[in-house]
Every structure is written in structure tokens, then in C-alpha cells.
């Protein structure tokens, strides 16, 4: 039990410190790397809490896809971050308001579970014991039986959002030359070569 508590405080300290460095680092590449470190330590905390499914999802989805995508975008795009940070103080009140709302919600959730433990007993579908059913299997039972239609609708909404993002970013500009494979394949010597008779002393 002492070793588990030691690892909990170790993961928690590194997660909090790296999360602070995400917003404190001046280089955006360092911020993304600290974000990946935060995700790894959060996954370790989930493992200690017995939520192995959330830990794997955090590593596979967020670290393997989202954070790496952020890193590639930050490294490939030529962004003037000094100009980007110029108006950050204008949005400070809005950010502080959102932070206060999130803090109030966390206090309500944690405080309600601490001061009223009987709230957890009123859950319609309680979590089965680990010995009877694993965490991942229990979550799969709920998603693919009771909420299978909502799960499919959520996937459809994400698909529509992805197609919409592709359509919005795909712009056809008229003043840009584009390669047309069918036109190149269908070229003939008559259309590809033009013989010009130049008179002596004149240019083309």
C-alpha cells in the first residue's frame, strides 16, 4: 500500500508540474512535449485507480493522435507567436471566468461525493466488482447494449463533422495551376508540340 501511495504522489506531482509548464513555456514545441508528459502521468494515475481502459484511451487517442498532431502542426507552420501573444491580456477575464466555472463544478462534484456518499448508491447501473467483471468489459456491456444507438449516433456525428471540416478546408482557387492526370494521359503529339516558324531576325 505504501508503494502505491508513493507512485500516486509521484505521478500527481509530475502531472501538475508539467501541466503548469504547458502554459508557462515560451516555446510552443516545449508546451506540446510537456502536454504529452502530462498525459502519460495522468494515465499512470488512472492505472492506480483501476481504470485501465481510460489509461489506454488516454495514451492511444490523446498522446498517439491529438498531441502528436499538435506537435506536427506547431513545428510545420510558420506562426509568429510574438504577435499571437500580443492580445492575450484581452481574453484574460473570459479565461478567468471559465476557470472559476470549472473550479466550481469540480468542487460540487467532489464535495457532493465526499459529504453525501449515499449519492453513489442511487446510480441506476452500478459498477460491478472487479472480481466479477473487468472495467473494460463492464464499460463495453453498457455501451454496446443499453446505449448502442446513442453510441452509433455519436460516431455518425463525428463522421459528418470530419467530412464538413474537409469540405470547408478544400478550396478550389482559379489562379493556381493544378495537375490533371487524365489530360496528361490523353495528350497527343498534335496537342503537345507546337511548331513555330520564326522569321530571321525576330524572336518568339
Answering whether pTM is above 0.85, one says: no
Q: What was the pLDDT predicted at 78?
A: 60
> How large is the average pLDDT for residues 36-60?
86
Q: What was the pLDDT predicted at 94?
A: 87
Report the percent of the chain where pLDDT is more than 70: 80
Select, from the ranges 14-23, 64-73, 84-93, the one with the highest average predicted confidence (pLDDT).
14-23
Sign of CA pseudo-dihedral 20, 24, 28, 29: negative
- Reported as a single tens digit per residue, the pLDDT across 49-73 is 888 888 888 888 888 777 777 777 7
Report the percent of the chain where pLDDT is more than 90: 9
Q: What was the pLDDT predicted at 80?
A: 62
Q: What was the pLDDT predicted at 162?
A: 87
Q: With cut-offs at 50, 70 and 90, classify the pLDDT of residue 156.
A: very high
For 151-160, b/e burial (b = at least 16 CB within 10 A) is: eeeeeeeeee
Question: Is the pLDDT assigned to residue 30 strictly greater than 90?
Answer: no
Q: What was the pLDDT predicted at 57?
A: 86
Question: Is the pLDDT assigned to residue 1 strictly greater than 90?
Answer: no
CA distances from 136 to 45, 62, 65, 161 (A): 16, 18, 21, 27
63 alpha-carbon distance from chain centroid: 8
Amino acid at each position: 500500500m505504501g508503494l502505491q501511495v508513493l507512485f500516486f504522489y509521484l505521478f500527481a506531482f509530475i502531472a501538475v508540474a508539467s501541466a503548469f509548464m504547458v502554459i508557462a513555456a515560451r516555446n510552443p514545441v516545449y508546451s506540446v512535449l510537456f502536454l504529452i508528459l502530462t498525459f502519460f502521468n495522468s494515465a499512470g494515475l488512472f492505472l492506480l485507480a483501476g481504470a485501465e481502459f481510460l489509461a489506454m484511451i488516454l495514451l492511444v487517442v490523446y498522446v498517439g493522435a491529438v498531441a502528436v498532431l499538435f506537435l506536427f502542426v506547431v513545428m510545420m507552420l510558420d506562426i509568429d507567436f510574438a504577435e499571437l501573444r500580443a492580445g492575450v491580456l484581452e481574453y484574460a477575464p473570459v479565461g478567468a471566468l471559465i476557470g472559476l466555472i470549472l473550479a466550481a463544478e469540480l468542487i460540487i462534484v467532489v464535495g457532493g461525493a465526499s459529504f453525501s456518499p449515499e449519492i453513489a448508491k442511487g446510480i441506476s447501473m452500478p459498477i460491478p466488482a472487479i472480481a466479477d467483471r473487468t472495467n473494460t468489459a463492464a464499460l463495453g456491456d453498457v455501451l454496446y447494449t443499453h446505449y448502442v444507438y446513442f453510441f452509433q449516433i455519436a460516431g455518425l456525428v463525428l463522421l459528418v463533422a470530419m467530412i464538413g471540416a474537409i469540405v470547408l478546408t478544400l478550396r478550389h482557387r482559379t489562379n493556381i495551376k493544378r495537375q490533371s492526370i487524365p489530360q496528361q494521359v490523353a495528350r497527343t503529339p498534335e496537342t503537345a508540340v507546337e511548331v513555330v516558324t520564326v522569321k530571321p531576325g525576330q524572336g518568339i
